[in-house]
């Protein structure tokens, strides 16, 4: 694929427009100091240290309202200044990472809850609102916004929309794309539009007109800036019940996953399988992991939420299916322990071990493929084979931390899955050559996913090096990438929004 060349876009010099930006948002909300800018070049994974200094934004601007965002966009469009929106910066596909520097539009000041409507069960928020904080407010009126990623305490609404995020409880209550009723977007030209699913901002359904809202899920800040959103809330579940079952083999656990997936239990929020490599990893590296009998090679976790009666009945039904499928109930301590750590289980990465059992600092990286049920075994076994090849060849650099397989779809527990492989990487040993090796590993995993009829990404986005090339060549085929390029050019004639992301520079 041809290399990115930003010179042809004739971008203006951001430094020449600092005073105008200060006029728009106030001097206290324009940051030019190196440490403020460098902080916004950091991303979670992988290798924040790898070439990060090439991508420090020229300036950080913190708008306080829609009008300010619109004025910034008009200025940026006039002088051709790159703009990259940033939420919490915890996206795992480097979406908020400026490939061509420019203005980092840090949306965290826009963090107000504008309206709680307990009759129509919606909440209207600015994009810098975080779900954990939002739910503290909603709890007071018996409402609950159910988007529940493992980054629940960190990610914000704008980033959840920008990435088309996936919620751990999504099988019960949907993912962000199902939970946003409508939203306000400032387009690259500075025009402000409302996009919804129906006539009013709070309507959830309509067949009148195009489904414009969808276009902005997973756009990674390439089409506009989300400045307000109306979210669909639900009642807080009366009870939650996680349960944990051990299996002697991958095959038994996989078959059990199928049976519970199609059981018809309506209050299931997620079924999660831990494969053999994941259990090995937890045994080896997680001091907090409650020891399991050696006979347990794989685990399936089933979590329910709803009214007490529903959950009791579901628990009984699933226990019966698991028994039939040769699963062993592992007790409440295991299940509650794991469910309680769902928001911080990935912090484990800081003390992974090398091939000799020594603790080394490793950064967590995760491939979030979407896979259909029939192909799961070939996919998960295949990707461990790929990772093992690199682990064996580059000992102490890469580490296979196993796979979680979560049911993937909204409001259902069957069909497709988030098949996530966690790879730990010894960041401090990285070199430019090893970076290329890492990209090769990513490409092999991405190709396997697409070859088996899946997707490279269910929620993080496939816009990073190593993913995006396979995406364009193998996944976005049959005119899909061509259509994306046309849309991008229509919305953003000067390619100022997050330039280079998804290789949409190729549209111009």
Ligand X SMILES: Cc1cc2nc3c(=O)[nH]c(=O)nc-3n(C[C@H](O)[C@H](O)[C@H](O)COP(=O)(O)OP(=O)(O)OC[C@H]3O[C@@H](n4cnc5c(N)ncnc54)[C@H](O)[C@@H]3O)c2cc1C
**Please, which residue, 56 or 322, has the CB nearer to ligand X?**
56
Buried b / exposed e over 148-164, threshold 16 CB at 10 Å, is bbbbbebbbbbbbbbbb
**Please, which residue, 167 or 380, has the CB nearer to ligand X?**
167
Determine, following the binding rule CB under 6 A, whether residue 403 of this chain makes contact with ligand X: no
**Please, which residue, 46 or 95, has the CB nearer to ligand X?**
95
Tokens for 295? 């006979």
How far is 96 from 101, CA to CA, in rounded Å? 11
Determine, following the binding rule CB under 6 A, whether residue 127 of this chain makes contact with ligand X: yes
Backbone angles phi, psi at 364, to 5 degrees: -80, 135
User: From the CB of 294, what's the least distance to ligand X, in Å?
Assistant: 30
**Please, which residue, 74 or 315, has the CB nearer to ligand X?**
74
User: From the CB of 22, what's the least distance to ligand X, in Å?
Assistant: 21
User: From the CB of 227, what's the least distance to ligand X, in Å?
Assistant: 7
User: From the CB of 467, what's the least distance to ligand X, in Å?
Assistant: 14
User: From the CB of 458, what's the least distance to ligand X, in Å?
Assistant: 8
User: From the CB of 354, what's the least distance to ligand X, in Å?
Assistant: 22
User: From the CB of 215, what's the least distance to ligand X, in Å?
Assistant: 12
Helices (H) and strands (E) in the chain, counts: 15, 20
Find the distance separating the first CA and the last CA of the chain, reported in whole Å.
15
Q: Which of residues 103-122 bind ligand X (CB under 6 A)?
A: 107
If you search the block for the tokens 């399936």, which residue do you land on?
300
Q: Which of 46, 57, 63, 95 binds ligand X (CB under 6 A)?
A: 95
Q: Which of 87, 132, 139 is nearest to 118 (CA)?
A: 139
Altogether, the residues listed in the chain come to a count of 508
Determine, following the binding rule CB under 6 A, whether residue 498 of this chain makes contact with ligand X: yes
Q: Which of 11, 145, 274, 346 binds ligand X (CB under 6 A)?
A: 346
Tokens for 299? 């685990």
Q: Label residue 405 left, alpha or beta by phi (over 0 means left) and psi (-120 to 50 means alpha).
A: beta
Q: What is the DSSP letter of 472?
A: I
**Please, which residue, 75 or 185, has the CB nearer to ligand X?**
185
**Please, which residue, 226 or 314, has the CB nearer to ligand X?**
226
Q: Which of residues 133-172 bind ligand X (CB under 6 A)?
A: 149-151, 155-156, 158-160, 162-163, 165-166, 168
User: From the CB of 43, what's the least distance to ligand X, in Å?
Assistant: 7
Q: What is the 3-state secondary structure (H, E, C) of 373-385?
A: HHHHHHHHHHHHH
Which DSSP helix (H) or strand (E) runs through 275? Answer: none
User: From the CB of 109, what's the least distance to ligand X, in Å?
Assistant: 11
How far is 461 from 441, CA to CA, in rounded Å? 17
Binding flags for ligand X, 224-243, as an x/- string (CB under 6 A): -xx-----------------
**Please, which residue, 122 or 164, has the CB nearer to ligand X?**
164
Q: Which stretch binds ligand X (CB under 6 A): 4-12, 86-94, 321-329, 350-358?
A: 86-94
223-227-232-235 Cα dihedral, nearest 10 degrees? 140
Beta carbons within 8 Å of 106's beta carbon, 6+ residues apart: 40, 60, 61, 62, 86
Greatest pairwise CA separation for the chain in angstroms = 70
User: From the CB of 207, what's the least distance to ligand X, in Å?
Assistant: 27
| Strand duo 192-196 + 268-274: pairing | unpaired
User: From the CB of 100, what's the least distance to ligand X, in Å?
Assistant: 13
User: From the CB of 151, what's the least distance to ligand X, in Å?
Assistant: 3
How far is 187 from 466, CA to CA, in rounded Å? 29
Tokens for 432? 């430019």
Rounded to 10 deg, the angle between the 18-25 and 66-79 helix axes is 160
Q: Which of residues 277-336 bind ligand X (CB under 6 A)?
A: none
- Work out the number of other CB atoms within 10 angstroms of the CB of residue 388: 13
Q: Which of 30, 83, 88, 468 binds ligand X (CB under 6 A)?
A: 88
If you search the block for the tokens 């919490």, which residue do you land on?
88
Determine, following the binding rule CB under 6 A, whether residue 220 of this chain makes contact with ligand X: yes
Determine, following the binding rule CB under 6 A, whether residue 76 of this chain makes contact with ligand X: no
Tokens for 61? 């601007």
Q: Which of 434, 439, 365 is nearest to 397 (CA)?
A: 434
**Please, which residue, 143 or 223, has the CB nearer to ligand X?**
223
Q: Which of 21, 90, 301, 322 binds ligand X (CB under 6 A)?
A: 90
How far is 183 from 127, CA to CA, in rounded Å? 10
Q: Which of 459, 468, 484, 496 binds ligand X (CB under 6 A)?
A: 459
Number of residues counted as binding ligand X (CB under 6 A): 35
User: From the CB of 80, what's the least distance to ligand X, in Å?
Assistant: 18
**Please, which residue, 247 or 346, has the CB nearer to ligand X?**
346
**Please, which residue, 330 or 352, has the CB nearer to ligand X?**
352
**Please, which residue, 297 or 460, has the CB nearer to ligand X?**
460
Backbone angles phi, psi at 465, to 5 degrees: -50, 140
Q: Contact positions toward ligand X, by CB under 6 A?
A: 44, 84-92, 95-96, 107, 127, 149-151, 155-156, 158-160, 162-163, 165-166, 168, 220-221, 225-226, 346, 459-460, 498
């Amino acid at each position: 694929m041809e290399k990115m060349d930003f010179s042809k876009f004739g971008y203006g010099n951001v430094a020449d427009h600092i005073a105008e930006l200060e006029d728009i948002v106030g001097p206290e909300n324009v940051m030019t100091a190196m440490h403020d800018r460098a902080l916004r070049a950091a991303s979670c994974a992988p290798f924040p240290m790898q070439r990060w200094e090439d991508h420090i934004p020229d300036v950080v601007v913190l708008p306080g309202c829609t009008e300010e965002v619109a004025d910034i966009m008009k200025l940026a469009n006039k002088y051709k200044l790159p703009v990259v929106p940033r939420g919490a910066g915890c996206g795992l596909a480097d979406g908020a990472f400026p490939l061509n520097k420019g203005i980092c539009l840090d949306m965290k000041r826009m963090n107000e809850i504008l309206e709680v409507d307990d009759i129509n069960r919606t909440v209207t928020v600015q994009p810098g609102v975080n779900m954990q904080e939002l739910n503290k407010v909603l709890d007071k009126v018996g409402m609950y916004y159910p988007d529940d990623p493992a980054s629940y305490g960190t990610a914000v609404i704008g980033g959840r929309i920008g990435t088309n995020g996936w919620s751990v409880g999504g099988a019960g209550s949907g993912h962000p794309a199902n939970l946003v009723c409508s939203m306000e977007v400032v387009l690259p030209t500075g025009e402000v539009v409302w996009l919804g699913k129906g006539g009013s901002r709070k309507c959830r359904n309509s067949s009148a007109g195009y489904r414009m809202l969808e276009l902005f899920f997973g756009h990674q800040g390439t089409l506009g800036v989300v400045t307000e959103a109306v979210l669909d809330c639900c009642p807080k579940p009366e009870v939650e019940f996680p349960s944990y079952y051990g299996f002697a083999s991958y095959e038994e656990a996989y078959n059990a996953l199928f049976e519970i997936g199609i059981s018809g239990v309506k209050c299931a929020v997620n079924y999660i399988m831990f494969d053999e490599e994941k259990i090995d990893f937890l045994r080896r590296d997680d001091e907090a992991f409650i020891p399991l009998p050696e006979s347990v090679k794989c685990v399936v976790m089933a979590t329910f939420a709803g009214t007490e009666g529903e959950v009791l009945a579901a628990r009984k039904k699933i226990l019966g299916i698991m028994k039939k499928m040769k699963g062993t109930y592992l007790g409440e301590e295991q299940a509650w322990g794991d469910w309680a750590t769902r928001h911080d289980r990935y912090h484990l990465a800081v003390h992974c071990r090398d091939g000799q059992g020594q603790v080394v600092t490793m950064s967590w990286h995760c491939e979030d493929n979407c896979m259909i049920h029939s192909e799961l075994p070939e996919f998960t076994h295949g990707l461990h084979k790929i990772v093992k090849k690199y682990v064996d060849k580059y000992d102490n650099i890469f580490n296979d931390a196993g796979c979680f397989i979560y049911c993937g779809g909204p409001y259902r527990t069957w069909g497709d899955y988030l098949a996530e492989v966690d790879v730990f990487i010894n960041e401090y040993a990285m070199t430019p050559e090893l970076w290329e090796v890492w990209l090769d590993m990513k490409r092999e995993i991405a190709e396997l996913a697409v070859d088996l009829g899946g997707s490279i990404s269910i929620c993080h986005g496939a816009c990073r090096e190593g993913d995006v090339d396979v995406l364009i060549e193998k996944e976005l085929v049959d005119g899909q990438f061509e259509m994306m390029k046309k849309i991008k050019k229509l919305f953003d004639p000067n390619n100022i929004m997050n330039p280079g992301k998804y290789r949409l520079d190729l549209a111009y």
